[in-house]
Protein backbone atom coordinates (compact mmCIF):
# COMPACT_ATOMS: atom_id res chain seq x y z
CA UNK A 1 0.00 0.00 0.00
CA UNK A 2 1.35 3.42 -0.95
CA UNK A 3 2.05 6.08 1.68
CA UNK A 4 1.03 9.65 0.95
CA UNK A 5 3.56 12.48 1.22
CA UNK A 6 1.89 15.71 2.27
CA UNK A 7 2.99 19.34 2.36
CA UNK A 8 4.20 19.97 5.93
CA UNK A 9 3.36 22.97 8.09
CA UNK A 10 5.34 25.80 6.52
CA UNK A 11 5.34 28.39 9.27
CA UNK A 12 3.10 30.92 10.92
CA UNK A 13 0.62 32.48 8.44
CA UNK A 14 2.19 30.58 5.50
CA UNK A 15 -0.45 28.42 3.81
CA UNK A 16 1.05 27.53 0.43
CA UNK A 17 4.31 26.97 -1.41
CA UNK A 18 5.66 26.24 -4.87
CA UNK A 19 7.28 22.95 -5.88
CA UNK A 20 10.86 24.03 -6.55
CA UNK A 21 12.40 20.70 -7.51
CA UNK A 22 12.00 16.96 -7.11
CA UNK A 23 14.98 15.38 -5.38
CA UNK A 24 13.75 11.83 -6.03
CA UNK A 25 12.31 10.45 -9.27
CA UNK A 26 9.73 7.61 -9.56
CA UNK A 27 11.41 4.24 -9.10
CA UNK A 28 14.29 5.46 -6.96
CA UNK A 29 14.92 4.06 -3.49
CA UNK A 30 13.96 6.37 -0.61
CA UNK A 31 15.03 6.17 3.01
CA UNK A 32 12.84 7.30 5.88
CA UNK A 33 13.25 11.05 6.53
CA UNK A 34 15.24 11.46 3.29
CA UNK A 35 14.36 14.69 1.43
CA UNK A 36 12.38 13.93 -1.72
CA UNK A 37 11.29 17.43 -2.78
CA UNK A 38 12.10 21.08 -2.20
CA UNK A 39 9.29 23.60 -1.72
CA UNK A 40 9.74 27.35 -2.13
CA UNK A 41 7.82 29.60 0.24
CA UNK A 42 7.78 33.38 0.36
CA UNK A 43 11.07 33.40 2.24
CA UNK A 44 12.89 30.06 2.22
CA UNK A 45 13.19 26.69 0.53
CA UNK A 46 11.95 23.76 2.62
CA UNK A 47 12.86 20.13 2.07
CA UNK A 48 10.02 17.61 2.30
CA UNK A 49 11.16 14.34 3.92
CA UNK A 50 9.77 10.92 3.14
CA UNK A 51 7.64 9.58 6.02
CA UNK A 52 8.73 5.99 5.34
CA UNK A 53 11.39 3.97 3.54
CA UNK A 54 10.43 2.53 0.17
CA UNK A 55 10.44 3.38 -3.51
CA UNK A 56 9.51 6.77 -4.95
CA UNK A 57 6.09 6.53 -6.54
CA UNK A 58 3.99 9.00 -8.49
CA UNK A 59 4.56 12.74 -8.30
CA UNK A 60 1.19 14.37 -7.65
CA UNK A 61 2.50 17.87 -8.42
CA UNK A 62 4.90 19.21 -11.02
CA UNK A 63 7.76 21.67 -10.59
CA UNK A 64 6.26 25.16 -10.49
CA UNK A 65 2.87 24.05 -9.12
CA UNK A 66 1.42 25.87 -6.12
CA UNK A 67 0.50 23.47 -3.30
CA UNK A 68 -1.25 24.09 0.01
CA UNK A 69 -0.37 22.79 3.46
CA UNK A 70 -1.47 19.15 3.93
CA UNK A 71 -1.92 18.59 0.18
CA UNK A 72 -0.71 15.22 -1.17
CA UNK A 73 2.26 15.78 -3.49
CA UNK A 74 3.66 12.26 -3.91
CA UNK A 75 3.32 8.58 -3.08
CA UNK A 76 5.91 6.25 -1.56
CA UNK A 77 5.45 2.64 -2.66
CA UNK A 78 6.29 -0.32 -0.47
CA UNK A 79 9.64 -1.92 -1.20
CA UNK A 80 13.31 -1.78 -0.38
CA UNK A 81 16.45 -0.50 -1.95
CA UNK A 82 16.58 -3.56 -4.16
CA UNK A 83 13.27 -2.56 -5.74
CA UNK A 84 14.68 0.76 -6.88
CA UNK A 85 16.11 1.17 -10.35
CA UNK A 86 19.81 0.37 -10.61
CA UNK A 87 22.22 3.17 -11.39
CA UNK A 88 22.53 2.20 -15.05
CA UNK A 89 18.79 2.28 -15.50
CA UNK A 90 18.62 5.61 -13.73
CA UNK A 91 21.13 7.11 -16.13
CA UNK A 92 19.27 5.75 -19.13
CA UNK A 93 15.88 6.96 -17.92
CA UNK A 94 14.45 10.05 -19.65
CA UNK A 95 14.98 13.33 -17.82
CA UNK A 96 11.96 14.95 -16.13
CA UNK A 97 10.16 17.70 -18.01
CA UNK A 98 11.79 20.46 -15.97
CA UNK A 99 15.22 19.27 -17.10
CA UNK A 100 14.55 19.66 -20.84
CA UNK A 101 16.03 23.13 -20.69
CA UNK A 102 19.30 21.83 -19.33
CA UNK A 103 22.36 21.45 -21.56
CA UNK A 104 23.15 17.91 -22.67
CA UNK A 105 25.17 16.09 -20.03
CA UNK A 106 27.48 13.13 -20.14
CA UNK A 107 24.69 10.76 -19.12
CA UNK A 108 24.53 11.61 -15.41
CA UNK A 109 21.37 13.06 -13.93
CA UNK A 110 21.92 16.32 -12.02
CA UNK A 111 19.14 17.77 -9.86
CA UNK A 112 19.11 21.55 -10.15
CA UNK A 113 16.98 24.31 -8.72
CA UNK A 114 15.49 26.86 -11.14
CA UNK A 115 18.14 29.44 -10.23
CA UNK A 116 20.96 26.98 -10.84
CA UNK A 117 19.37 25.82 -14.10
CA UNK A 118 19.21 29.40 -15.35
CA UNK A 119 22.88 29.94 -14.49
CA UNK A 120 23.84 26.73 -16.33
CA UNK A 121 21.96 27.88 -19.42
CA UNK A 122 23.32 31.40 -19.28
CA UNK A 123 26.97 30.39 -18.95
CA UNK A 124 26.87 27.24 -21.09
CA UNK A 125 28.62 24.96 -18.59
CA UNK A 126 28.21 21.20 -18.19
CA UNK A 127 26.61 20.62 -14.76
CA UNK A 128 27.86 17.04 -14.55
CA UNK A 129 31.46 18.26 -14.43
CA UNK A 130 30.88 20.55 -11.45
CA UNK A 131 31.23 19.44 -7.84
CA UNK A 132 28.31 20.73 -5.78
CA UNK A 133 28.96 22.42 -2.44
CA UNK A 134 25.32 22.71 -1.38
CA UNK A 135 23.30 20.43 0.86
CA UNK A 136 23.77 16.74 -0.03
CA UNK A 137 26.28 17.74 -2.71
CA UNK A 138 23.74 19.70 -4.76
CA UNK A 139 24.88 22.40 -7.15
CA UNK A 140 24.54 26.02 -6.07
CA UNK A 141 24.50 29.09 -8.27
CA UNK A 142 27.93 30.00 -6.89
CA UNK A 143 29.29 26.60 -8.03
CA UNK A 144 28.10 27.30 -11.58
CA UNK A 145 29.51 30.84 -11.61
CA UNK A 146 32.88 29.56 -10.37
CA UNK A 147 32.93 26.90 -13.09
CA UNK A 148 32.03 29.51 -15.72
CA UNK A 149 34.84 31.76 -14.53
CA UNK A 150 37.32 28.88 -14.65
CA UNK A 151 36.15 28.08 -18.16
CA UNK A 152 36.74 31.67 -19.30
CA UNK A 153 40.28 31.73 -17.91
CA UNK A 154 41.25 28.34 -19.34
CA UNK A 155 43.77 28.34 -22.23
CA UNK A 156 42.24 28.70 -25.68
CA UNK A 157 43.62 25.32 -26.74
CA UNK A 158 41.91 23.59 -23.84
CA UNK A 159 38.65 25.28 -24.70
CA UNK A 160 38.93 24.15 -28.31
CA UNK A 161 39.09 20.49 -27.26
CA UNK A 162 36.29 20.74 -24.69
CA UNK A 163 32.85 19.47 -25.74
CA UNK A 164 30.41 22.27 -26.46
CA UNK A 165 27.09 22.24 -24.59
CA UNK A 166 24.03 21.45 -26.64
CA UNK A 167 22.00 24.49 -27.72
CA UNK A 168 18.98 25.41 -25.61
CA UNK A 169 16.69 25.23 -28.62
CA UNK A 170 17.70 23.80 -31.99
CA UNK A 171 15.27 26.07 -33.85
CA UNK A 172 16.48 29.31 -32.26
CA UNK A 173 18.47 31.74 -34.40
CA UNK A 174 22.18 31.99 -33.44
CA UNK A 175 22.73 34.69 -30.86
CA UNK A 176 19.02 35.48 -30.57
CA UNK A 177 17.86 32.97 -27.95
CA UNK A 178 15.33 33.93 -25.30
CA UNK A 179 14.04 32.10 -22.26
CA UNK A 180 10.83 32.62 -20.34
CA UNK A 181 11.08 31.48 -16.70
CA UNK A 182 8.36 31.83 -14.09
CA UNK A 183 9.38 33.96 -11.14
CA UNK A 184 10.09 31.97 -8.01
CA UNK A 185 7.74 32.50 -5.10
CA UNK A 186 10.55 34.23 -3.22
CA UNK A 187 11.21 36.63 -6.10
CA UNK A 188 7.48 37.36 -6.42
CA UNK A 189 7.31 38.15 -2.70
CA UNK A 190 10.39 40.37 -2.86
CA UNK A 191 8.82 42.28 -5.75
CA UNK A 192 5.51 42.75 -3.92
CA UNK A 193 7.12 43.81 -0.64
CA UNK A 194 9.47 46.33 -2.21
CA UNK A 195 6.74 47.81 -4.39
CA UNK A 196 4.45 47.91 -1.37
CA UNK A 197 7.12 49.77 0.60
CA UNK A 198 7.32 52.42 -2.12
CA UNK A 199 3.55 52.80 -2.31
CA UNK A 200 2.72 52.75 1.40
CA UNK A 201 5.67 54.53 3.03
CA UNK A 202 6.92 58.09 2.61
CA UNK A 203 10.47 57.10 1.69
CA UNK A 204 13.37 59.49 1.97
CA UNK A 205 17.13 58.89 2.10
CA UNK A 206 19.83 60.88 3.86
CA UNK A 207 23.56 60.40 3.16
CA UNK A 208 26.86 60.88 4.91
CA UNK A 209 30.45 59.78 4.37
CA UNK A 210 32.62 57.95 6.87
CA UNK A 211 36.38 57.88 7.32
CA UNK A 212 37.11 54.17 7.77
CA UNK A 213 40.72 54.68 8.94
CA UNK A 214 40.13 53.86 12.62
CA UNK A 215 38.07 50.72 11.95
CA UNK A 216 40.54 49.47 9.33
CA UNK A 217 43.44 50.08 11.71
CA UNK A 218 41.69 48.24 14.56
CA UNK A 219 40.71 45.40 12.26
CA UNK A 220 44.24 44.98 10.89
CA UNK A 221 45.71 45.11 14.39
CA UNK A 222 43.41 42.55 15.98
CA UNK A 223 42.01 40.36 13.18
CA UNK A 224 44.51 37.52 13.72
CA UNK A 225 44.01 37.42 17.49
CA UNK A 226 40.26 37.76 17.02
CA UNK A 227 40.12 34.84 14.59
CA UNK A 228 42.33 32.70 16.84
CA UNK A 229 40.22 33.34 19.94
CA UNK A 230 36.73 33.33 18.45
CA UNK A 231 37.21 31.15 15.35
CA UNK A 232 35.51 33.72 13.12
CA UNK A 233 36.73 36.47 10.81
CA UNK A 234 36.56 40.05 12.11
CA UNK A 235 34.62 41.95 9.46
CA UNK A 236 33.10 45.40 9.17
CA UNK A 237 29.50 44.36 9.84
CA UNK A 238 30.12 43.90 13.56
CA UNK A 239 31.31 47.51 13.83
CA UNK A 240 28.32 48.87 11.91
CA UNK A 241 25.86 46.71 13.85
CA UNK A 242 27.21 48.03 17.14
CA UNK A 243 27.26 51.60 15.83
CA UNK A 244 23.65 51.21 14.68
CA UNK A 245 22.67 50.01 18.15
CA UNK A 246 24.00 53.27 19.63
CA UNK A 247 21.97 55.27 17.12
CA UNK A 248 18.77 53.30 17.67
CA UNK A 249 18.98 53.70 21.43
CA UNK A 250 19.37 57.48 21.11
CA UNK A 251 16.75 57.81 18.34
CA UNK A 252 14.11 55.15 19.16
CA UNK A 253 11.78 56.10 16.31
CA UNK A 254 14.30 54.62 13.86
CA UNK A 255 13.76 51.28 15.63
CA UNK A 256 9.95 51.53 15.63
CA UNK A 257 7.00 50.42 13.46
CA UNK A 258 3.76 52.02 12.34
CA UNK A 259 0.77 49.71 12.91
CA UNK A 260 -2.52 51.34 11.93
CA UNK A 261 -2.69 54.63 13.79
CA UNK A 262 -0.21 53.54 16.46
CA UNK A 263 3.58 53.63 16.78
CA UNK A 264 5.16 50.46 18.18
CA UNK A 265 8.46 51.13 19.97
CA UNK A 266 10.86 48.30 20.81
CA UNK A 267 13.10 48.07 23.86
CA UNK A 268 15.26 45.52 22.01
CA UNK A 269 17.24 45.72 18.77
CA UNK A 270 16.91 42.89 16.26
CA UNK A 271 18.99 43.70 13.18
CA UNK A 272 18.07 42.15 9.84
CA UNK A 273 21.22 41.60 7.79
CA UNK A 274 20.76 41.35 4.03
CA UNK A 275 22.65 38.37 2.55
CA UNK A 276 22.63 36.81 -0.91
CA UNK A 277 20.95 33.43 -1.48
CA UNK A 278 20.72 31.45 -4.74
CA UNK A 279 17.10 32.55 -5.24
CA UNK A 280 17.47 36.18 -4.17
CA UNK A 281 18.21 38.45 -1.24
CA UNK A 282 17.19 37.25 2.23
CA UNK A 283 17.32 39.07 5.56
CA UNK A 284 18.00 36.79 8.55
CA UNK A 285 17.85 38.48 11.94
CA UNK A 286 20.63 39.00 14.50
CA UNK A 287 18.51 39.11 17.64
CA UNK A 288 19.36 41.28 20.63
CA UNK A 289 22.29 42.78 18.74
CA UNK A 290 22.65 45.47 21.40
CA UNK A 291 23.39 42.81 24.01
CA UNK A 292 25.77 40.70 21.91
CA UNK A 293 29.54 40.94 21.59
CA UNK A 294 31.37 41.66 18.36
CA UNK A 295 32.33 37.99 18.15
CA UNK A 296 28.76 36.76 18.60
CA UNK A 297 27.47 39.16 15.95
CA UNK A 298 30.18 38.13 13.47
CA UNK A 299 29.47 34.44 14.14
CA UNK A 300 25.75 34.93 13.58
CA UNK A 301 26.33 36.76 10.30
CA UNK A 302 28.85 34.19 9.04
CA UNK A 303 26.45 31.39 9.92
CA UNK A 304 23.60 33.11 8.08
CA UNK A 305 25.75 33.63 5.01
CA UNK A 306 26.73 29.96 4.84
CA UNK A 307 23.21 28.73 5.41
CA UNK A 308 21.82 31.14 2.82
CA UNK A 309 24.23 29.65 0.28
CA UNK A 310 23.14 26.13 1.26
CA UNK A 311 19.46 27.05 1.27
CA UNK A 312 18.95 25.94 4.89
CA UNK A 313 17.68 29.18 6.46
CA UNK A 314 14.35 28.78 8.22
CA UNK A 315 11.28 30.98 8.60
CA UNK A 316 12.25 31.63 12.20
CA UNK A 317 15.67 32.93 11.10
CA UNK A 318 14.01 35.69 9.06
CA UNK A 319 10.96 36.56 11.14
CA UNK A 320 10.88 39.85 13.00
CA UNK A 321 13.69 42.36 12.78
CA UNK A 322 13.42 46.01 13.85
CA UNK A 323 16.12 47.54 11.61
CA UNK A 324 18.06 46.41 8.52
CA UNK A 325 21.66 46.77 7.35
CA UNK A 326 22.37 46.12 3.67
CA UNK A 327 25.96 46.06 2.36
CA UNK A 328 26.01 46.82 -1.35
CA UNK A 329 29.70 47.59 -1.06
CA UNK A 330 30.61 43.92 -1.35
CA UNK A 331 29.32 44.09 -4.93
CA UNK A 332 31.13 47.38 -5.68
CA UNK A 333 28.29 49.85 -5.11
CA UNK A 334 29.45 53.45 -4.61
CA UNK A 335 26.10 54.85 -3.48
CA UNK A 336 22.47 53.73 -3.34
CA UNK A 337 19.06 54.51 -1.84
CA UNK A 338 18.06 51.26 -0.10
CA UNK A 339 14.36 50.45 0.37
CA UNK A 340 13.01 49.71 3.84
CA UNK A 341 11.99 46.18 4.80
CA UNK A 342 8.33 46.52 5.97
CA UNK A 343 7.11 46.85 8.66
CA UNK A 344 10.47 48.35 9.62
CA UNK A 345 10.88 52.08 9.28
CA UNK A 346 14.55 52.42 8.35
CA UNK A 347 17.45 50.68 6.62
CA UNK A 348 21.18 51.45 6.63
CA UNK A 349 23.00 51.06 3.32
CA UNK A 350 26.77 50.45 3.27
CA UNK A 351 28.95 50.91 0.20
CA UNK A 352 32.45 50.29 -1.09
CA UNK A 353 35.51 51.87 0.49
CA UNK A 354 37.50 54.20 -1.78
CA UNK A 355 40.59 56.24 -1.09
CA UNK A 356 39.57 59.85 -1.62
CA UNK A 357 41.07 63.28 -0.90
CA UNK A 358 39.50 64.92 2.13
CA UNK A 359 40.33 67.99 4.19
CA UNK A 360 41.57 67.29 7.74
CA UNK A 361 42.75 70.16 9.94
CA UNK A 362 43.08 72.41 6.92
CA UNK A 363 45.15 69.95 4.89
CA UNK A 364 44.20 67.69 1.98
CA UNK A 365 44.89 64.06 2.85
CA UNK A 366 43.99 60.70 1.33
CA UNK A 367 41.64 58.62 3.48
CA UNK A 368 39.62 55.39 2.99
CA UNK A 369 36.09 56.76 2.72
CA UNK A 370 32.67 55.10 2.54
CA UNK A 371 29.33 56.64 1.68
CA UNK A 372 26.54 55.49 4.00
CA UNK A 373 22.81 55.98 3.45
CA UNK A 374 19.81 55.83 5.75
CA UNK A 375 16.46 55.37 4.03
CA UNK A 376 13.51 55.99 6.33
CA UNK A 377 9.75 56.30 6.50
CA UNK A 378 9.10 60.03 6.81
CA UNK A 379 5.63 59.33 8.26
CA UNK A 380 7.31 58.25 11.47
CA UNK A 381 10.86 59.59 11.37
CA UNK A 382 11.56 63.29 10.97
CA UNK A 383 14.53 64.49 8.95
CA UNK A 384 16.29 65.72 12.08
CA UNK A 385 16.00 62.29 13.69
CA UNK A 386 17.24 60.47 10.56
CA UNK A 387 20.22 62.79 10.15
CA UNK A 388 21.04 62.50 13.86
CA UNK A 389 20.94 58.69 13.75
CA UNK A 390 23.23 58.55 10.71
CA UNK A 391 25.61 61.06 12.31
CA UNK A 392 25.84 58.87 15.43
CA UNK A 393 26.76 55.88 13.25
CA UNK A 394 29.38 57.96 11.43
CA UNK A 395 30.96 59.20 14.68
CA UNK A 396 31.04 55.71 16.20
CA UNK A 397 32.80 54.25 13.15
CA UNK A 398 35.32 57.09 13.01
CA UNK A 399 36.00 56.70 16.74
CA UNK A 400 35.26 53.05 17.71
CA UNK A 401 36.03 53.77 21.37
CA UNK A 402 32.53 55.31 21.52
CA UNK A 403 31.09 51.82 21.11
CA UNK A 404 32.97 50.59 24.16
CA UNK A 405 31.86 53.39 26.48
CA UNK A 406 28.33 53.79 25.02
CA UNK A 407 28.64 57.33 23.63
* pTM of the predicted model as reported, rounded to 2 decimal places: 0.65
Q: Coil, strand, or helix at residue 135?
A: helix
What pLDDT, on the 0 to 100 scale, is given for residue 8?
Answer: 86
pLDDT in tens, 235-280: 999 999 999 999 999 999 999 999 999 999 999 999 999 888 776 6
* Distance in angstroms (rounded) separating the CA atoms of residues 54 and 27: 9
Q: Domain spanning 186-405: which superfamily?
A: Chloramphenicol acetyltransferase-like domain (3.30.559.10)
Q: What residue spans define the domains of the chain?
A: 1-93, 109-182, 186-405
Distances (CA, A) of 383 to 255, 275, 333: 15, 28, 25
Catalytic residue among 33, 108, 224, 378: 378
Backbone φ and ψ for 49, nearest 5 degrees, come out as -85, 155
Residue 378 annotated as catalytic: yes
CATH number assigned to the domain covering 1-93: 2.40.50.100
236 DSSP assignment: S
CATH number assigned to the domain covering 109-182: 4.10.320.10
* Distance in angstroms (rounded) separating the CA atoms of residues 395 and 72: 56
Distances (CA, A) of 327 to 214, 272, 304, 322: 19, 12, 14, 17
- Secondary structure (DSSP) of 57-108: EEESS-TT-EEETT-EEEEEES--GGGSPPHHHHHHSPPPGGGGGSPP-SS-
Q: Name the stretches of the chain with pLDDT < 70.
A: 11-13, 42-43, 80-115, 117-118, 121-122, 135-136, 153-174, 279-280, 407
* Distance in angstroms (rounded) separating the CA atoms of residues 302 and 317: 13
pLDDT in tens, 158-209: 444 555 555 555 555 567 888 888 777 777 777 888 888 888 889 999 999 9
What pLDDT, on the 0 to 100 scale, is given for residue 270?
Answer: 97
Catalytic residue among 70, 224, 382, 399: 382
Asked if residue 343 has a cis previous peptide bond (ω within 30° of 0), the answer is yes
Backbone φ and ψ for 188, nearest 5 degrees, come out as -60, -40
Amino acid sequence: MATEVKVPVLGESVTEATVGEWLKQPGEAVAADEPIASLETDKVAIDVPSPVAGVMGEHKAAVGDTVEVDAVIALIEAGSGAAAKPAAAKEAAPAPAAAKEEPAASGDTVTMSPAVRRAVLEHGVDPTTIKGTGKDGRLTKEDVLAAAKAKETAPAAAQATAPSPAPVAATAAPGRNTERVKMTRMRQTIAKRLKGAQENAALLTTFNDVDMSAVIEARNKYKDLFAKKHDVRLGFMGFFAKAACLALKDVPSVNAYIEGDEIVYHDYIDISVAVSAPNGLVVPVVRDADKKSFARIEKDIANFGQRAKEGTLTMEDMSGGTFTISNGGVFGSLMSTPIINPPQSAVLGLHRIDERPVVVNGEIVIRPMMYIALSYDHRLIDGREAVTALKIIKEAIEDPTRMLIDL
